[in-house]
Structure formats: structure tokens, C-alpha cells
Amino acid sequence: MHDFDIIIIGSGICGAGLAAHLQDSKRILMLEMEPQPGFHSTGRSAALYIRSYGNVTIRALNELSLPFFNDPQVDSKEDESVLSQRGFLSICLHGQDEMFESFLQDNPILKEINVQQALELVPLLRPETFNRAVYEPEAYDIDVAGMHQRWLKQAAKNGCVLECQSEVLSLEKTTDGWVVDTGSKTYLTKTVVNSAGAWADAVAKLASITPVGLTPKRRSIIVTSLPDNCDSENWPLFCDAGDNWYAKPESGKLLISPADADPVPACDIYPDDMVIAEGIHRFESAVDLDVTRIENKWAGLRTFAPDNTPVVGFDPRSEGFFWLAGQGGYGIQTAPALSQIAADLLEGKSSHPELETALSPARFVDN
């Protein structure tokens, strides 16, 4: 039996981030069921850092994450920012005024602009389809793969062992700690970190712990060409206030999402052609562009807790079982803050008490 202080189940962005932030000379193991880290949500994310994105707790995590993004300080040879300027534009299509107003009230940092200013940012928009717009210049593309690889390298420097193709088949609590079985190997640890993404509730069931009610939801993206005369390099990500679609330029192409959030089982998810067709139709109604050819398409899973807030902390029902799950659609941009908070809690520290309470799995446990 192999003995570790902490076993992290899942090597996506938050599992890798946690392993990179644990600095207390602990023996750490990361178990990944796929052939490579970040195979599902992390590897399929077209992530942006948008300060105004998410509920109150998410926005607080966004703010805490920004210093890392600007100065990762993980490797002296790779200390440049993992962010690049993008910007965020939301237009108020006719009939979306109530949602637009609510968005503005929740985010006082946003700047309202007029229709002409919005057209200067994205000339592709049809001016007759919207009457208001809001722009956030402090929105950035995130180099997800670069960020993930940095953390995996730092985790390895910290002595973390990564085992891929190691699906956890059973979790048993004993007097000596948790016995973790992958079929080919058996491990013993005092602390299990459940960072299994869409499979996190299933991992809890293996440990005989009642799930917190996580729901995986599909998010699809397509890639299409732009007309030759489109200088899209400096366009922001743009969307409608009703969250019916969003789009952003990338390498001379245009990424378009139907902003789908359909509940699905935890699986290797694929895009649904009907969902994509409906999303393209909604997008085309607001722009001067006919999407005649899809060059690429994919889908990923975003896993949400019932209150759309991540679940981070020790489970009060079972000693040594730690949750790091439910990041939803905010997993990449909040990962620096969540990783640090989780590392602090595992090392017996309390760095942000109010946030720790908001994130704690105790909120789902009946008193």
C-alpha cells in the first residue's frame, strides 16, 4: 500500500493549482482517470477573465485571482502574465432591458456606451437590433493551457506525484485514514481532495458521503471564418444581455457559442447539432454575418452547485474528505483564488473567513 499525506482526485485546473500551492512539504498524489491532465473541462475552455462575471462570491474570487494573473511567479523563466487584452461587450437587444438593467446594477464597474461606440468596437453588429450596450475594457483572454502546464510543473517541483489512467474505484474510511483503490494500485492517505469536476458527486458516493447536488452542464463552441475585410484582432468578446450567445475573435476566425447550459450526465461530452443550429440562428439575427461553414466544433462540461457557487472545504460529515468542486463556468478565472484558499485550509490556515463560509460544503448539510 502506497502512503501519501494528501491525494487529489482530478488533475484539472483546480487540482493542479492546489498541488502547486501546497508548500508544506507534504507527500501529495494526483490521480487522473484520463490519459492526460485536463482532458475534459480544462482542456476545452475558451476562458476569459471578466471581473463582472458571476455572483457576489464569484466576483470576489475574480478580484483575488487578478494579482496572480498579472504576476504568476511560478517559474522565473515563465513569469509573464497569462492574460492578453480582449475586452467585453454586452448589447441590449430589444426586449432585454430588464436583464440589462439588472446586470448594470450588479456591476457598478461597467461602463455604458452608446450604439455607435459599440459598432466601433464590433462593426459586425446590426445597429437596428439593439438600443444599449455596456463595455468592460478590463477583460482578458486566459492562456489556459499555459497556466495549467505551469501549475503542473510547479506541483512536480513540490514533489507531487501524478498518476494518469488511474480511476478511483473505491474509497474506504478506516482508522488509519482513507484507503483509495484504483484497481491496479491501493493508496492510504489522511486527506482526500475531491477535485473530480463533473464526477465529484460520484466520488462522494464512493466515500459513502451524500452528494451536494452538482449538475454538469454542456457548453458548446464552433469556429467559423470571417470575411476577408474584417480586421477582428482587437474586437472584444461580445454577447447579448440575455445570454443567448457570445462570440470572440481568435487567429482570424470567430468562436461562437450558443451559450448552452443543458444538464447532462458526467461523460465525454460532444456538441449537439440542434443546439448549435439554434444558437447560430440567434447569433445571426444580431450580426451581418451568415455562418455558412463550421470549421470546428466542440463541447465541454461546466459543473454547478445548486447555488452556482463553488464547493471548497472539509466535509463536516466525514473527517479528511475535502471538496474542491462546482466551479461552474468560472473555474479558470477563479482558479488562483480557489487554489490558494484550498491550500490554506488544508494547511490549517484561514485567509478569507467570509469567503470560506460561502464556499463551505457545510451549507448543503442539514443541521
Asked if residue 10 has pLDDT above 70, the reply is yes
CA distance 208 to 297: 38
Q: List pLDDT tens digits, range 248-282.
A: 999 889 999 999 999 999 998 899 999 999 999 99
Q: How many angstroms separate the most distant Cα atoms in the chain?
A: 68
Which range (79-83, 131-135, 150-154, 217-221) has the least confidence? 79-83
pTM, whole model, 2 decimals?
0.92
pLDDT at 44: 59
Nearest CA to 118 among 100, 131, 103?
Answer: 131
Ranking 17-26, 96-105, 326-335, 346-355 by mean pLDDT, the lowest is 17-26
Residue 367 confidence class, pLDDT cut points 50, 70, 90: very low
With b for 16 or more beta-carbon neighbours within 10 A and e for fewer, the 318-329 pattern comes to bebbbbbbbbbb
pLDDT above 70 covers what percent of the chain? 95
DSSP character string of 69-85: HH---S-GGG-S-SEEE
SS3 (DSSP) at 300: strand
Distance between CA atoms of 322 and 311, rounded to whole angstroms? 9
Give the pLDDT confidence of 183-212 residue by residue, as tens digits. 999 999 999 999 999 999 999 999 999 999
Asked whether the beta carbons of 331 and 219 are under 8 A apart, the reply is no
DSSP summary character for residue 223: E
Q: Return the C-alpha torsion angle 33, 163, 303, 353, nearest 10.
A: 150
For 88-137+215-304, which CATH superfamily applies?
A: D-Amino Acid Oxidase, subunit A, domain 2 (3.30.9.10)
Distance CA(121)–CA(310), nearest Å, equals 33
Q: Quick one: pLDDT at residue 107?
A: 83
- Per-chain mean pLDDT for the chain: 92
Domain boundaries, the chain: 2-77+143-213+306-364, 88-137+215-304
Distance CA 272, CA 298 (A): 9
Check pLDDT > 60 for residue 319: yes
Residue 76 predicted with pLDDT over 50 = no
C-alpha closest to that of 168 among 212, 206, 210:
206
* Among the listed residues 218, 223, 232, the one whose alpha carbon sits nearest the alpha carbon of residue 280: 223
Say which range, 74-88, 96-110, 330-344, has the weakest mean pLDDT. 74-88
The listed CATH number (3.40.50.2000, 2.60.40.10, 3.30.70.270, 3.50.50.60) that belongs to domain 2-77+143-213+306-364: 3.50.50.60
d(Cα 112, Cα 20) in Å, to the nearest integer? 39
Give which of 92, 64, 68 is closest to 79, Cα–Cα: 68
